[in-house]
Amino acid sequence: MKNPIFDLENWREIGATLARNKTRTFLTAFGIFWGTAMLAMLWGGAHGAEGMLRRNFAGFATNFGAVFPNTTSVAYKGFNKGMSWSMTQQDIDAIRKVTPSIEHSTIMYNNYGNVAYGTNSTTARISGYEPAFSKINTAVVYSGRLLNDADEAQGSKVALLGKDLAAKLFGVEDPLGKMISAKGIYFRVIGVIGQMSDASISGRYDEAVVIPASTFRRVYNTGNNIDFFMYTASPGHKPKDIEPYIRRVICANHPISPDDDKALWFMDITEMFEMVDNMFLGFSLLALFVGTGSLVAGLIGIGNIMWIIVKERTQEIGIRRAIGAKPRDITTQILCESVALTIVAGIAGVCFATIVLAIVDHATTDPLLGSPGFVLTFSQAVGIAITFIILGTAAGTLPAIKAMRIKPIEAMRDK
Amino acid sequence: MIIQLKDINKTYPGVVPLHVLKDINLEIDRGELVAIMGASGSGKSTLLNILGILDNYDSGEYHLDGVLIKNLSENRAAELRNRLIGFVFQSFNLISYKNAVENVALPLFYQGVSRRKRNALAMEQLERMGLADRAHHLPGELSGGQKQRVAIARALITKPSIILADEPTGALDSTTSHDVMNLFRELNAEGMTIIIVTHDPGVGAATNRIIRISDGRIVPDEPIITDIKPQIIV
């Protein structure tokens, strides 16, 4: 006998059988269709959800750390514990000098005050950054330019305006080159900027005025004190690697015990990213778990339905056996029916999931941040389809063996 | 001799083993029209199953058309059934979702005959049965007599050595039974060997020879009517 897989007659017979039993075929196929679609949607959906959450951190350096002063917790060099202290420009210069693995760093000042243009005014955050800040938290430049080293060096009275603040103050007018006042000091607007994602440090760009740190220090009389120091580790290093250098500098310059781990407060964003990574690992595992569950349920469904089909068709199979079907003919028929159903329904399921994911992806695509990635890669799709086909065959095996064991006498008995 | 049974014994195992066939000796010649009759439980169905290579026997020898039927593999049994035997059942046993032509052609599918050829042969058989206009009807759309004629066409399509009919008129009214028996007689007149299992004396009387089975044994033959065509009493 010819190999049944390449035998057109065999497939015609199977096609005819499936086509003549439409309800049964549809119900079986729907189970498989839904199983594959669920698995595919969960897989692509998990990927997309991760993309959506990750998008919140877009434009944010992931190896970023920061340090703030805090009150001391250990009495040292004649000072009581609970002492307040401030970081100074000397600390920052020393840190930059001794620490080898800082890539970008900036000091940061924050203040709130009245910001006005002409007769429009509002209260807004006024921040002083060094130019490297835009390397740590990338800003979207809507017009003009960012701060540069010359602005910092010369202490220029220039300002970047957040896009929402610009809209509030200027309406439809172009803010570039205009003078605004911030807490009574006038600045020339050199750029309009905006936030790339939701993640920000001490507030979003959108509602802020950003001026050079050196200018901030001079015009707002901050003296030598510095609120906040931020840095990113150079490639191959972690922000944690930088902490001992900072601690050493601070302890050398201030009466703070080297054992005092409360006096310096370090923020390490990588820990947060690790947490997010772990969360997504959990999320993927959950999707895999649920997806595998639906896959197994689908397969049990196929096996079950094929089993019922075999029971229901005992007489037919008996007749076929009586008129000359060999056991292998019957097994082949049942298996081919289950495989044909699985292939068609499985591929339909993957296609359906791809369409649903494409719609979701389209709906959640952000003009600025792009697609969150609600997609199934080709290899994932093929993988799901192949898995389903293999397992579908396996699920059809038991009923096929049962069918093979049906004796032709049973058909005659069944009156 | 197309069928030769020699000392056939068959016991169904169980707590109380059931010895259903006891030393059956039977010879049937080519071209005979034979009825196997007996009460229910007499062993006639078991005998039919053995004759149809649907069941095994414990001891003895069974030759069908010169082939020893003993301890065959499932595959070989299926092949011989397909080639040598045409089955006609009481409940017709047509496949409900296949139309008349496809039902008739099915045995040829298992011989690997191409679709076009087997459908052509099936149409020929249906024409012979006077069912050409019903060829594309499903069994559910046919009357009992028509279904049985489709089943007979299916039995004939492989040009078998014998036709085995199990209560072929059991589900039919008297007129249709009459037609079906006439059909069997016509086929027999063309030289086909036909064995009918029945408990209907009318059907038995329409055959040329009656083999009676009682309690697993063959009751000695009644006189064989060969010269006179019997009256059909159905």
CB contact under 8 A, B93 and A412: yes
A54 C-beta neighbours (distance < 10 Å), count: 17
**Tokens linked to A110:** 């924050």
Q: What ipTM score was computed for the predicted complex, to two decimals?
A: 0.85
Please give the pLDDT value at position A415: 45
Query: How are beta strands B217-219 and B67-68 bridged, if at all?
Result: unpaired
Instruction: Output DSSP code: residue A2.
Output: -
Summarize the confidence of residues B100-125 as an average pLDDT.
Answer: 91
A367-380: string of b/e by CB count within 10 Å (b at 16+)? eebebbbbbbeeeb
Query: Distance, in angstroms, between A327 CA and closest chain B CA?
Result: 7
A177 CB burial (10 A radius; 0-12, 13-18, 19+): exposed
Q: Could you tell me the sign of the dihedral formed by the alpha carbons of A95, A98, A99, A103, in that order?
A: positive
Show the tokens assigned to A261: 């781990």
B-chain residue closest to A408, CA distance? B54
Provide the 3-class DSSP secondary structure of residue B17.
coil
Tokens representing A202?
Answer: 């001490």
Distance between first and last Cα of chain B: 29
Distance between CA atoms of residues B119 and B154, nearest Å: 11
Any A CB within 8 A of B108 CB: no
Angle, in degrees to the nearest 10, between helices A8-20 and A22-55: 90
Of B49, B81, B94, the CB nearest to A324: B81
CB contact under 8 A, B110 and A408: no
Condensed to tens digits (0 to 9), the pLDDT of residues B119-131 reads 999 999 999 888 9
Best CA proximity match to B22, nearest among B217, B219, B212:
B217
The reply to whether residue B81 touches residue A16, judged by beta carbons under 8 angstroms, is no
Record the pTM. 0.64
Mean pLDDT of B141-155: 92
Contact A323 B154 (CB under 8 A): yes
Give the start-to-end residue ranges of the domains of chain B. Answer: 3-93+161-219
Beta partners for A65? A231, A268
In DSSP notation, B31-92 reads: T-EEEEE--TTSSHHHHHHHHTTSS--SEEEEEETTEE-SS--HHHHHHHHHHHEEEE-TT-
Packing angle, helices B100-109 and A8-20, rounded to 10: 150
Cβ pair B207, B35 in contact under 8 A: yes
Q: Is A323 within 8 Å of chain B by CB?
A: yes
Helix-strand-coil split of chain B, %, nearest 5: 35, 25, 40
Domain residue ranges in chain A? 4-57+274-413, 64-267
Give chain A positions within 8 Å (CB) of B154.
323
Q: Indicate the average pLDDT of chain B.
A: 88
- Is the pLDDT at B150 greater than 90? The verdict is yes
Q: What is the mean pLDDT of each run of 10 residues along chain A (415 residues)?
A: 63 77 79 82 82 75 84 88 89 90 89 90 92 86 91 92 91 91 93 82 84 92 87 86 90 88 83 78 82 77 79 84 87 83 85 88 78 80 82 83 81 56
Question: DSSP character for A120?
Answer: E
Q: Quote the crossing angle between the two packed helices A378-405 and A22-55, to the nearest 10°.
A: 150
CB-count burial class (<10 Å; 0-12, 13-18, 19+) for B171: middle
Provide the 3-class DSSP secondary structure of residue B167: coil
Which residues, 6+ apart, have CB-to-CB distance to B170 below 8 Å?
B90, B198, B200
Q: Contact at 8 Å (CB) between B84 and B192?
A: no
Q: Which residue of A has its CA nearest to B165?
A: A412
Closest CA to A397 of A345, A342, A350: A342
Q: What angle do CA B200, B204, B208 make, to 5 degrees?
A: 170
Alpha carbon distance A322, A411 (integer Å): 8
Rounded-to-integer distance, Cα B7 and Cα B17, Å: 19
The pLDDT score that the predictor gives to residue A411 is 63
Q: Cβ contact (<8 Å) for B110 and A320?
A: yes
Q: Answer whether A97 touches B (CB < 8 Å).
A: no
Is A107 in contact with A202 (CB distance < 8 Å)? Answer: no
- What contacts A302, CB < 8 A, 6 or more positions away? A28, A31, A32, A338, A341, A342, A392, A395, A396
Distance, CA of A260 to chain centre: 37
Q: How far is it between the farthest Cα atoms of chain A?
A: 107
For the domain made up of B3-93+161-219, the CATH class stated in words is alpha beta
Contact A82, A71 (CB under 8 A): yes
Pick the residue of B95, B108, B136, B137 with the most A CBs within 10 A to test the interface with A by mutation: B95
Region B49-59 average pLDDT: 90
Distance in angstroms between the alpha carbons of the first and the last residue of chain A: 33
**Residue linked to tokens 């099915």:** B106
| Residue A396, pLDDT score | 83
Nearest chain A residue to B48 by CA distance is: A409
Name which residue leads in pLDDT, B195 or B96: B195
Task: Give the gap in angstroms from C-alpha A299 to the nearest C-alpha of chain B.
Answer: 27
Residue B61 one-letter amino acid? E
The SS3 assignment for B63 reads strand
Backbone angles phi, psi at A180, to 5 degrees: -120, 160
Q: Give the model's pLDDT for residue A162.
A: 92
Q: Do A322 and B97 touch (CB under 8 A)?
A: no
With CA atoms as reference, the chain B residue closest to A20 would be: B97
Structure tokens at A209: 């005025």
